[in-house]
Amino acid sequence: MAESRLTTKGRTTVPAEVRKALGAKPGTPLVWHVMSDGKVLVRAKSKSILELAGTVESPVQGVTIEDMKAWRR
């Protein structure tokens, strides 16, 4: 288990093994989530949503405007 300490200025160093596992480099944003049970989830925001564009194929092919308006009938 990796461990770090909080400084008097509220800073900490992310341990090397954690940085390696996350693929985090200097400048990588970290997103902190405080859960309702008091646990903290830290996530490395390493990819932009724009980088994911086109990575998932749509299961629906060839939908027409009329097909999309079907719920109005």
Domain hosting 54: range is 16-72
pLDDT at 71: 72
What does the mean pLDDT of the chain come to? 86
More confident residue, 44 or 48: 44
CATH code: domain of residue 40: 2.10.260
The residue-averaged pLDDT of 24-44 equals 92
Yes or no: say if 44 and 25 are a contact pair by the CB < 8 Å rule.
no
pLDDT at 11 over 90: yes
In a domain, 6, yes or no: no
d(CA 69, CA 18): 49
pTM (predicted TM-score)? 0.56
In a domain, 10, yes or no: no
β-partners of residue 42 are 32
- Nearest in space to 3 (alpha carbons), one of 17, 21, 22, 24: 17
DSSP state letter for 28? -
In a domain, 57, yes or no: yes
In a domain, 1, yes or no: no
In a domain, 2, yes or no: no
- pLDDT confidence bin for 73, thresholds 50/70/90: low
Q: Specify the number of domains making up the chain.
A: 1
In a domain, 3, yes or no: no
